[in-house]
Amino acid sequence: MLAGAAVRALGAVDEVRRPADPQAAWLTYSSVDAHHVFPVGTSVPDTMLMLGVSEIEASARDELQLGLRLMLHRVLRVAASADSLQANDVLVVGTEEEIAEWKPSLKIAKPLGPEGFRLRRVVAGKKTWLIVEGADERGVLYGAFALLRLIAEERSLAGLNVVEAPSAPVRWTNEWDNPDGSIERGYAGRSIFFDQGAVRGDISRIAGYARLLASVGINGCTINNVNADAKLLQAENLREIARVSAIFRTYGVRLSLAIDMSSPQSIGGLTTFDPLAPEVVAWWKEKIDEIYSVIPNFGGVVIKADSEGRPGPSQYGRTPAEAANVLARALKPHGGVVLYRGFVYNHHLDWKDAKADRARAGYDNFHELDGKFDDNVIVQIKHGPIDFQVREPGSPLFAGLQKTNEAIELQITQEYTGQQRHLVYLVPMWKEALDTDMRASAKTPSRVQDIVTGKTFGQAGGGFVGVANVGLDDYWLGHPLALANLYGFGRLAWDPALTSATIVDEWTRLTFGNDPQVRSVIDSMQLNSWHIYEEYTGPLGAGTLTDIIGIHYGPGIESSERNGWGQWHRADQDGVGMDRTVATGTGYIGQYPAALAAKYESLKTCPDELLLFMHHVPYDYRLHSGKTVIQHIYDTHYAGAAAAAAQVGAWESLEDKIPERTYFEVLRRLRYQAGHAVVWRDAVAEWFHETSGVDDHLERVDKHPNRIEAEAMELTGYAPVAVMPWETASEGRAVVCKGLGGCSASSTFARPDGWYDVAVQYFDLRNGASRFTLQVNGTAIDEWTADDVLPSDKMDGHTATRHVVSGVALHKGDTIRVIGAPEGEEPAPLDYLEITSSSASRPVRARVAAR
């Protein structure tokens, strides 16, 4: 349809993005050098011709106006109609159909793929048209964002000719938000959607989020936890959810809901939720019709069933396919889909059974159902067979379903990868999964990305789901640099062939500008970060050696053993690793197509980085690298912690080039991460040392010449206690202060005079904010409050924290004292001091004393 007028006010976008507002994320639209974008012979358009009037095209128009105004300082006039168009330099925006209707000569025979776009610059006599052409309305919006990205990157538009379409129709995020406003595995504040049991009154953050999603081509968002609360399907809640959907709609994002399979019983009042019972089938149909009556562009439902205690069809002897199809048939007339999660497993496995294996569950539960799912059902499969560990192989289920739509589930929220306190750019990890060649077909490529985009088996209804869990935090995900993961998820879903380096460089440029130093430092910090994190956490595919049955954050090496959850690494005094071979193990490897199974089955060809996922080996087993397994564990943990520390210096080199607030937000986290990496290093290295009895060739493990244990200091008020798990405190012990007036721990410095860095290792519990003061000869040289909100109220691997005071002048015989003042339920717990020669070039002043 040709647009006559209908120009929506610019306000909507302006409200979302205020200058220098972190909420703008990568849509900062900083000024660019117009000469790069419009080189000699070209000029910046001054007029925009909007050929369509839909809500989504209006969003495209607003975005283009905003972006050009901020980046090129050009306020675009919107032409009232195509007929009245006088200007020579025009930005033309519309769908293929609208453009062909406006100027038939511009029609290109080959149609764009669904949701795709074409950007081109056409010169016709005196007229120059910069054309944003979409296959449909979403394509127009995606084209607008793509053009703005090119401008932000200062690319020349002189020969503009770009044609793109997304790799797959499903490009969704899942948000694990609960109606009470909490977010399961969310690390960035409370829900932007819900509060106190219902949709929030203030939903102002939602437009900003939808805009970010659309800017990278995400077209769906499931707003509630897969551990779903059935009451969200009640009429009054659906009406409220419709408010959210109306905002999403303007950015082409379809809202969807996670559902609880027992809803027909729990909120519907039926006596059963057997998916095949006629009254249950009727209930779902009616409910889905009701949803569409209030949310006309509803995307569909996500189902977690028979998993981690959730109700499911197995209760009635029904299969996931039978359950999924009931929903699929109710959704079909409306164009909705079912995402049925392949994350179905028994969490009461017998850990003593050497053949039991959680990794087998996805394939075992779904493989036989291949071909039994309706065509609007998509099986949503986590990228690895366990649960978002720091390293896993691609799930064999990807190749196990050949007649079923599949979506890969990637986790943007860093549940097992540092919870947005540690910098971990996840795109390289996702790329490894997506690039894994399943060797499932001799004729067609069968990388995981080929399978989920339908190229291998022709099942083209699936795609990509990213568990985002953004929150009310200004930076959406907590860590400002973690936004590269949300950005990267969208870009990969659009085009999984993009490289990790390309994606991060785009993100850096859009977020921080085109300064080469900024790009090079941030890109390389991000690109190295996953490897660094893996080095100091979970080695060789053993999994993240964290507190598996709890919060999944700090080290907790034994927690995965001797329970039914099946995240075992099976480390004992003789060796480590899960034997998943066909020959002697759980048989998991046999779930892969033969060629890939052969590679994993043989120790000769199994890649080192997956060794302990696939095999159980003795500690002196030699890797392809030539190192023994145990020495590799020691070396990588030391290397990883050192590399984490080096990230701090890299970031500091950008001090003058990053907006101040963001600079300090990141710096604080990197410093914390460097300290926590030492906690990880020591916990893992010392646990394996103790368990294996094998010494570190480089004599680092369990040897800390610069350390002064708190329990060995002269204590006033402080009392020694044992810490559990033992490996999360130096020597397994710390001291706590029970006296309200404060306690102190002192030591006489016995080393040569010089400049030193003093690291104070303590525990920062969630339920208190103790004060610490560091004194030298009675003069306070630093003081701080342990007021971080780490995810535990105990002394353990989650709360172990380090505060470093750099550049302290110490003389032999000085008295070093830590004074701890408890607050709340936190007894100012202290673990040790570590005093190392300082690299700092300037001394600290006695800040506190001088005040």
Q: Which residues are designated catalytic? A: 308, 387, 415
Contact 47, 89 (CB under 8 A): yes
* Residue 528 structure tokens: 């190295």
Cα distance between residue 690 and residue 693, in whole Å: 5
Q: d(Cα 258, Cα 407) in Å, to the nearest integer?
A: 16
CB of 175 to ligand GCV, least distance (A): 11
Stretch that binds ligand GCV, among 220-228, 539-547, 553-561, 744-752 (CB under 6 A): 220-228
Please state the closest distance from residue 261 (CB atom) to ligand GCV, in A.
Answer: 14
Q: How far is the CB of 546 from ligand GCV (least distance, A)?
A: 11
Question: Contact with ligand GCV (CB under 6 A): which of 30, 227, 297, 441?
Answer: 227
Residue with smaller CB distance to ligand GCV, 446 or 567? 567
Give the C-alpha separation, 782 to 789, whole Å.
Answer: 21
Query: What is the Cα–Cα distance from 53 to 38, expressed in whole angstroms?
Result: 28
Which phi and psi (to 5°) does residue 680 adopt? -60, -50
Q: Which stretch binds ligand GCV (CB under 6 A): 125-133, 224-232, 271-279, 730-738?
A: 224-232
Do 270 and 279 meet the contact criterion of CB atoms below 8 Å apart? yes
Tokens of 226: 């897969």
Residue selected from 226, 614, 644, 795 as contacting ligand GCV according to rule CB under 6 A: 226
Among the listed ranges 222-230, 367-375, 399-407, 716-724, the one in contact with ligand GCV (CB under 6 A) is: 222-230
Pick the binder of ligand GCV from 176, 187, 494, 651 (CB under 6 A): 176
Q: What is the DSSP string of 231-256?
A: GGGSHHHHHHHHHHHHHHHTTTPEEE
Q: Which helix (H) or strand (E) holds 611?
A: helix 611-614
CA separation (Å) from 544 to 516, 547, 553, 569?
Answer: 35, 9, 9, 10
Among 89, 101, 154, 184, binds ligand GCV (CB under 6 A): 184
Binding residue for ligand GCV, selected from 8, 185, 519, 771, defined by CB under 6 A: 185
Residue 571 gets the label, from left (phi > 0), alpha (psi -120 to 50) or beta, of beta
* Min separation Cβ 78 and ligand GCV, Å: 45
- Shortest distance, position 358 Cβ to ligand GCV, whole Å: 11
Residue 442 neighbours by CB under 8 Å, 6+ apart? none
Q: Restricting to residues 545-564, name those near ligand GCV by CB under 6 A.
A: none
Minimum CB distance to ligand GCV, residue 547 (Å): 11
Q: For residue 681, which of 663, 699, 702, 697 has the smallest C-alpha distance?
A: 702
Residues 6 or more apart in contact with residue 806 via CB below 8 angstroms: 757, 838, 839, 840, 844
User: Which residues 680-699 are close enough to bind ligand GCV by CB under 6 A?
Assistant: none
For 585, the token pair is: 């193990």
Q: How far apart are CA 452 and CA 342, in angstroms?
A: 14
What is the nearest approach in angstroms of ligand GCV to the Cβ of residue 448? Answer: 18
State phi, psi for 380 to the nearest 5 degrees: -95, 115
Beta carbons of 619 and 629 less than 8 angstroms apart: yes
Percent helix, strand and coil across the chain, each rounded to 5? Answer: 35, 20, 45
How far is 92 from 120, CA to CA, in rounded Å?
10
CB of residue 477 vs ligand GCV: minimum separation in angstroms? 17
Among candidate residues 124, 145, 46, 60, the one with its CA nearest the CA of residue 95: 60
Residue with tokens 């006596």: 271
Q: How far apart are CA 559 and CA 798, in angstroms?
A: 13
Q: How far is the CB of 349 from ligand GCV (least distance, A)?
A: 14
Least Å distance, CB 669 to ligand GCV, is 22
Q: How far apart are the first and last CA of the chain?
A: 70
* Amino acid at residue number 554: G
Return the number of the residue (182 or 227) whose C-beta is nearest ligand GCV. 227
Could you give the string, one character per residue 83-102, with x where binding to ligand GCV holds by CB under 6 A and - elsewhere? --------------------
CA–CA gap between residue 505 and residue 698 (Å, rounded): 38
Measured from the CB atom, the residue of 167 and 469 that comes closer to ligand GCV is: 469
**Closest to ligand GCV by CB, 174 or 728:** 174
Q: How far is the CB of 176 from ligand GCV (least distance, A)?
A: 5
Say how far apart CA 817 and CA 350 lie, in whole Å.
50
Structure tokens at 405: 């739509």
Total binding residues for ligand GCV by CB under 6 A? 10
Does residue 172 belong to the site contacting ligand GCV (CB under 6 A)?
no
* Least spacing, CB of residue 311 vs ligand GCV, in Å: 14
Strands, E, within 572-674: which ranges? Answer: 575-576, 617-618
Q: Can you tell me the distance from the alpha carbon of 304 to that of 224, in angstroms, rounded to the nearest whole number?
A: 12
Binders of ligand GCV among 334-393, rule CB under 6 A? 343, 387
Does residue number 832 form part of the binding site for ligand GCV (CB under 6 A)?
Answer: no
Distance between CA 332 and CA 334 in Å, rounded? 5
Site string for ligand GCV, 303-322 (x = CB under 6 A): -x---x--------------
428 cis-preceded (ω within 30 degrees of 0): no
CA angle (328 as vertex; 322, 332 as ends), nearest 5: 150
Nearer to ligand GCV, 227 or 662 (CB): 227
**Piece of 225-233, 710-718, 746-754, 819-827 that binds ligand GCV (CB under 6 A):** 225-233
Interaction site with ligand GCV (CB under 6 A): 176, 184-185, 225-227, 304, 308, 343, 387
